[in-house]
């Protein structure tokens, strides 16, 4: 009970008598090193895993640690009694006495109150008594075997419920998935589009399993969390831990809800920025799509540069939107968010060298018009038709129907030969070389090479093929036949047919081809007579200058 200031003399004497045991025991108590929490000038009082009070002020000759130890000695005697464990206080202007079942356990002084927190001696005593009352009742409960038995039974019951929840999901998960699957199949059967129906059925199984699995684990984890909280709260020794467990979750949920409500204006601004960026990017994408399709003429953009420019402008729009939206992101002003931003910036800076190089090389390849989609090119050792020039790589489809992805940096550094561009601007000259012995007149060689070129389809007659003698080697001259091809993408089969006709013409005239090297001349002529051209298992097939049907995709 509380006493008003100004006690009568007799009552003052009674209070002093009640305080005497606490003062005596506090005097003989010795400090316990390592048991005080906080700084060396304070001592944290804990009982039944609960923080009761932190002694920060000395009372006369007694340090905070001695005050705490004195309380612990008195509380042991108070808890050993069979009383109800009722905590009360007696307060006057100079101190406050805390009692358990009428027995004094400690004295609080005005220095224990913190005026900066608007605390008074009376409010400090009330808080001390309230926290102590809870701890005392739990200490009494710890010795109540009947209540402990009821707690054990209740925990076993909740454990059985948890096991039932887990068994339910283990046994019924497939049944739930099958039922949802039948419902989903019925819904997809009502869709008229066969494509949408096929896609829906393909995604149905994975989606249902993912949703049911997520629901199962969410239910099991939530049930396990509630069981753990209940089991901890059921016993007095672990009750503070269970209360903190539940309180932290509730506080986290309320904090999340409060932060969400407080962030609604910023979320609204973010939505506006997102819609504007999406609208602008869609407009930019449509504009450059029309430019790529030739719907309008422009000196700045064509079918090759418009797609790349459109993608680049869309990226710039979203980067600008991200910069504008950054201050409105919830939590962007926190140290954690700033730390993550710095880490992300560091990672980008470390890995951006190659990325920026690829992008710049792609832009150079597009805007310098080295190649366009549809051109037949040879880049380094890769030959084929350009399908796409992206920001990071260039896609080439070879004549063997192989799709090759070349990094743009390689495209920028390797020698690029554009057969389509050359054929559109000037005749595309190709050549092949043979070496013939000095015993064969060069005029005859020129005529035979011209005849082989005339027989080969896919070569242009004007300008006419011609032969150059590019070297006089030790044993033979070197002849280079120069021809003009009609379709650059047919270069490989046309050259194959030309080589076949060269062999036929030289064999018809009994002339030995000494390519690629020559060491000694056998006594007989090294050529194939015409009657042996079709020796088994050969068939009477003429050299062809095109791809077999169906041709590879180029």
Question: Which tens digit of pLDDT belongs to each residue from 168-182?
Answer: 999 988 888 888 888
**Residue 352's pLDDT is what?**
61
pTM score, whole prediction:
0.44
CA distances in angstroms from 419 to 184, 274, 305, 455, listed in the order given: 54, 45, 20, 23
Under DSSP, is residue 393 helix (H, G, I), strand (E, B) or coil? strand
Residue 13 pLDDT class (50, 70, 90 cuts)? very low
Q: What is the overall mean pLDDT for the chain? A: 78
Under DSSP, is residue 463 helix (H, G, I), strand (E, B) or coil? coil
Question: Which tens digit of pLDDT belongs to each residue from 277-324?
Answer: 999 999 988 888 887 777 766 666 666 677 778 888 898 999 899 989
Strand partners, 466: 482
Question: Which tens digit of pLDDT belongs to each residue from 100-135?
Answer: 888 888 888 888 888 888 888 888 888 888 888 888
418 CB burial (10 A radius; 0-12, 13-18, 19+): buried
The answer to which of 196-200, 435-439, 545-549 has the lowest mean pLDDT is 196-200
Answer yes or no: are the C-beta atoms of 54 and 45 closer than 8 Å. yes
**Residue 550's pLDDT is what?**
47
Asked whether residue 38 carries a pLDDT value surpassing 60, the answer given is no
Distance, CA of 140 to CA of 24 (rounded, Å): 26
Q: What percent of the chain has pLDDT over 90?
A: 15
**Residue 161's pLDDT is what?**
93
Question: Which tens digit of pLDDT belongs to each residue from 474-531?
Answer: 888 899 999 998 888 788 889 999 999 999 999 888 888 877 665 666 666 655 677 6
């Amino acid at each position: 009970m509380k006493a008003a200031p100004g006690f009568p003399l007799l009552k003052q004497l009674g209070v002093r008598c009640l305080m005497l045991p606490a003062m005596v025991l506090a005097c003989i108590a010795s400090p316990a090193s390592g048991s005080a929490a906080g700084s060396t000038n304070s001592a944290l009082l804990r009982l039944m895993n609960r923080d009761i009070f932190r002694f920060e002020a000395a009372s006369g000759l007694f340090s905070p640690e001695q005050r705490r130890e004195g309380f612990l000695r008195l509380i042991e005697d108070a808890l050993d009694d069979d009383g109800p464990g009722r905590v009360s206080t007696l307060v006057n202007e100079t101190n406050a006495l805390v009692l358990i079942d009428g027995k004094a356990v400690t004295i609080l002084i005005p220095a224990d109150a913190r005026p900066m927190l608007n605390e008074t001696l009376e409010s400090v005593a009330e808080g001390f008594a309230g926290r102590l009352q809870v701890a005392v009742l739990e200490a009494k409960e710890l010795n109540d075997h009947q209540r402990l038995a009821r707690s054990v039974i209740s925990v076993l019951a909740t454990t059985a419920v948890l096991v039932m929840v887990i068994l339910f999901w283990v046994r019924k998960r497939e049944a739930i998935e099958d039922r949802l699957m039948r419902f989903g199949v019925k819904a997809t059967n009502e869709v008229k589009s066969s494509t949408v129906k096929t896609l829906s059925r393909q995604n149905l199984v994975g989606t249902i399993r993912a949703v049911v699995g997520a629901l199962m684990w969410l239910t099991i984890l939530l049930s396990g969390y509630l069981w753990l909280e209940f089991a901890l709260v059921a016993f007095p020794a672990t009750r503070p831990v269970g209360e903190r467990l539940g309180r932290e979750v509730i506080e986290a949920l309320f904090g999340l809800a409060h932060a969400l409500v407080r962030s609604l204006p910023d979320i609204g601004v973010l939505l506006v920025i997102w819609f504007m960026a999406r609208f602008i990017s869609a407009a930019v994408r449509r504009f450059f799509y029309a430019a790529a399709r030739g719907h309008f003429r422009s000196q700045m953009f064509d079918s090759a540069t418009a797609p790349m420019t459109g993608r680049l402008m869309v990226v710039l729009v979203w980067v600008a939107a991200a910069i504008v939206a950054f201050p409105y992101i919830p939590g962007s002003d926190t140290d954690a968010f700033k730390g993550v931003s710095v880490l992300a910036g560091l990672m980008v800076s470390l890995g951006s060298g190659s990325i920026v190089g690829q992008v710049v090389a792609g832009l150079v390849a597009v805007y310098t018009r080295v190649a366009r989609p549809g051109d037949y090119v040879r880049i380094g050792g890769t030959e084929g038709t350009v399908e796409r020039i992206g920001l990071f790589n260039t896609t080439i489809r070879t004549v063997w129907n192989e799709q090759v992805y070349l990094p743009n940096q390689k495209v920028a550094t390797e020698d690029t030969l554009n057969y389509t561009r050359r054929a559109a601007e000037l005749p595309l000259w190709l050549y092949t070389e043979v070496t013939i012995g000095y015993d064969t007149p060069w005029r005859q060689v020129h005529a035979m090479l011209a005849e082989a070129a005339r027989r080969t389809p896919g070569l242009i007659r004007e300008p006419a093929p011609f032969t150059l003698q590019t070297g006089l080697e030790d044993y033979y001259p070197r002849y280079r036949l120069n021809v003009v091809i009609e379709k650059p993408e047919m270069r490989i089969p046309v050259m194959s047919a030309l080589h076949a006709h060269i062999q036929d013409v030289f064999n018809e005239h009994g002339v030995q081809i000494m390519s690629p090297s020559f060491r000694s001349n056998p006594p007989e002529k090294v050529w194939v007579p015409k009657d042996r051209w079709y020796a088994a298992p050969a068939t009477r097939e003429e050299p062809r200058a095109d791809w077999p049907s169906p041709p590879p995709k180029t």
